[in-house]
Structure 1
Amino acid sequence: MIRIGFLMRDMLCSTIYDKARVKSILIIRMNRIGDMIYTLPVIRTLKKEFPFAKITVLAEPANAEVASTEAAVDEVLVYRKGRGLFHNRYSRIALLLGARRFDLAVSVKGGFSSFFALIAAISGARYRIGYRSSSGHILDKLYNLPADPIDFSRTHQLDACLHLLSPLGIGEHIRDISLRIPNTFLEKASAFFCKKGIEHRDNVIIMNISSNRAASAWSPERFVALGRALSEESGCFSIVCSSPDEAQQARDVSGRIGENSYYYQTESPLAFAAAASLCSVLVSGDGGASHLAAAVGTPVVALFGKTSPGIWRPHGEMNIVLQAEQGGVEAIPVKNVLAAILSAGLLIKKVKD
């Protein structure tokens, strides 16, 4: 009821933005791993603008771990879907926010979302930022510092996220998406590589065989063919990873590639990021793995099907995007991926005897 009172107060009274009043910030960023990675620049920019403000991130289980590594974040609240009588997501979010008071709420999403608008309202924040609907929506009024919509079909997610801050008049944005990996994950990955005799980063490929979307999935047979071809061409090591539910399939792919190919168990996003940081290049369908690798500075060959690379290509000049002319990622030939890796010098080509 208190939050509703704050909301009614702000809707009935004109809002004059006063930077000095911002002492507590709520960042709303649900969804997946890539979504949170491209929210990191927003968080860092806000921390620079409001150095003494407490920053809280509202996340979901899939992307909360990424937010938890960010030094500018003081608290991560993880929203989990309920069941039965406790399935109402708005009441669960209200309970999760509890008695916390926020001065600024930012709904970070590349476009208008009624769900995010309502979360911003539930937060009771004095100032609420989010994209207005391009066609006009009754819930636009829940944002008292709205951002004007842009052409989201031609705008990379990083730029779409940062544009949200335009109502605050911030002159310079931080575009850094780098991810800090805790030592425990790095030590585990390093120990695994050392045990397998992998000493140099310049000849190790990591392949993520999992995808949340069928159109973004490359078949196990194609990963096997690529691993074998790269082993023949460069004598490289292959690290095969997957989501936990596809672990056996990843083991099978690694075994079929043969010598110098190893399955590495990645039970979390940071476990994968640690392994990727020790490799020369990642090959993966578009999705969270490609953005994690980009965030730790590992070159990426990202395979795109129907997803727009203009919006979701991994950020960074060294990354390569291959897109199927028609259909999904499966239409991309192995030879094209092999050529992209070798021509870019991402692996050292073996000198033939």
Structure 2
Amino acid sequence: MRGGLKPSLSLIKKILIIRIDRIGDLVCTIPSIRALRKNFPDTRITALLSLYNSDLISDTELVDDIIVWKNNMPGEEKQYLIKNLKERKFDVVLVFSPYTEAYKLAYLTGANIRAGIVLKSRFLTRVFASFCLNYIFLLDQEGKLRKKEPLLHEVEKGFALLEVLGIKEPDREINLLLPEGFITECRQYLNSGMIKDQKGIIGLPLCSRYIKAGWSVNDLAILAEDLRYRFPEYLLLITSGNQEIKDGEILKKRFLDKYGILVRGPMDVRLWAAFMQNMSLVITIDSGAVHLASSGKVSSVVLYPPEIYELCSQEWVPWKVRYKQLIMKDFKDTRDEILEAADELLKGEKGSVL
């Protein structure tokens, strides 16, 4: 940790957390936020979160306030947000999102302690961060990859940042607690599709990354049918988000009368989290789904495109659950590997645990 000041911890009354990226990032930051709450029980903690993520922890006791950040925010709205941040007079700002916009927002708060995670590989961003922050946790993931050294998991990065406040917390479980209403809605929906002699439920969240990797909607439909055939005692749930509405509708029509397959369209992020936590196994390319599943102690089969496998298979490993990680190839070359990995995890025979 680089920094030129020594924080007076007893004077900290207001803390701002900046996490303005994707849902998996926020889920992996939950243990750090919990540690903050534990170590500063009387401090007011505010979180600046991206629009889609903002509801995920809104009903928890982790934070006192949530401010919503929108990508491509109009100038007038952004100026109002900055004014709001300044007026709150934060003592500490912790930047978990390694982006120039996040560093700029931290600087504009005027907080005495501005600490953030900075990627060594992004030179210009690093220079900008050194101007905006007075504490920097410099992360050299690419350098470690070249040296074949183990990488820090996203959860561990957060705790490295907390060292600026003297926090060394052994409890690093995600443990995302959801409102009872969403849990009830989730279970009622799943019960509506219950099959004979059901052992559990397999989750197959749709993600635009499948299409970007060269897979088709038909490939995913075939995979769904394969899973039902291979595991007839498991209900299959397919979920889609706002970016997969069209694909979700195609699969919903295809499986409208298919016994043992449910297709659920876009939903509140807390309901999606409840679904992922209530699976027996999740099969996905989406790290958000992986970590939501991990928050419910659910195992995952995770697919990574070959160009990012080495990085993601360490940085985004399913947290403290059993898992199998696969290099994503053409569908025909990956299909059987997915089924075998799912079989091993459902039988409890194999699978790594971080």
* Length-normalised TM-score, structure 2: 0.82
Pairwise mapping of residues 94-243 of structure 1 onto structure 2 (< 5 A)?
94-97=82-85, 99-109=87-97, 111=98, 113-131=99-117, 134=120, 137=127, 139-151=129-141, 154-198=151-195, 202-211=199-208, 214-215=211-212, 218-235=215-232, 236-243=234-241
Amino acid at match of 1:338: L
Tell me what 2:325 maps to: 321
- Structure 1 residue 25 corresponds to structure 2 residue 15: yes
Question: By how many angstroms is 1:30 displaced?
Answer: 0.3
SS where residue 101 of structure 1 aligns? coil
Identity %: 22
Tell me what 1:351 maps to: none
Tell me what 2:81 maps to: 93
Tell me what 1:278 maps to: 278
Q: C-alpha separation between the residues in 2 aligned to 1:201 and 1:159?
A: 37
Q: C-alpha separation between the residues in 2 aligned to 1:83 and 1:18?
A: 35
Question: By how many angstroms is 1:239 displaced?
Answer: 1.1
Stretches of 4+ aligned residues off by more than 6 angstroms: none
Q: C-alpha separation between the residues in 2 aligned to 1:165 and 1:221?
A: 45
Instruction: Tell me which moved more, 100-109 or 313-322.
Output: 313-322
Cα distance change, pair 162–198 in 1 and its aligned pair in 2 (3 A)? farther
Cα distance change, pair 298–120 in 1 and its aligned pair in 2 (3 A)? same
Question: By how many angstroms is 1:129 displaced?
Answer: 0.9
5+ residue gaps, structure 2: 146-150, 350-354
* Residue 309 of structure 1, aligned match among 310, 313, 337: 313
Q: C-alpha separation between the residues in 2 aligned to 1:241 and 1:218?
A: 17
* Residue 67 of structure 2, aligned match among 59, 77, 81: 77
Once superposed, what is the RMSD of the aligned Cα atoms?
2.9
On the 8 A contact 2:13/2:91 being kept in 1, the answer is: yes
Of the two, which has the highest radius of gyration?
Answer: 1
Higher strand share: 2
On the 8 A contact 2:210/2:285 being kept in 1, the answer is: no
Cα distance change, pair 36–222 in 1 and its aligned pair in 2 (3 A)? same
Question: Once the two structures are superposed, what CA deviation does each residue of 1:265-292 show, in whole Å capped at 9, x if it has no partner?
Answer: 3412211111222221111113322221
Question: By how many angstroms is 1:75 displaced?
Answer: 0.6
Cα distance change, pair 21–118 in 1 and its aligned pair in 2 (3 A)? same
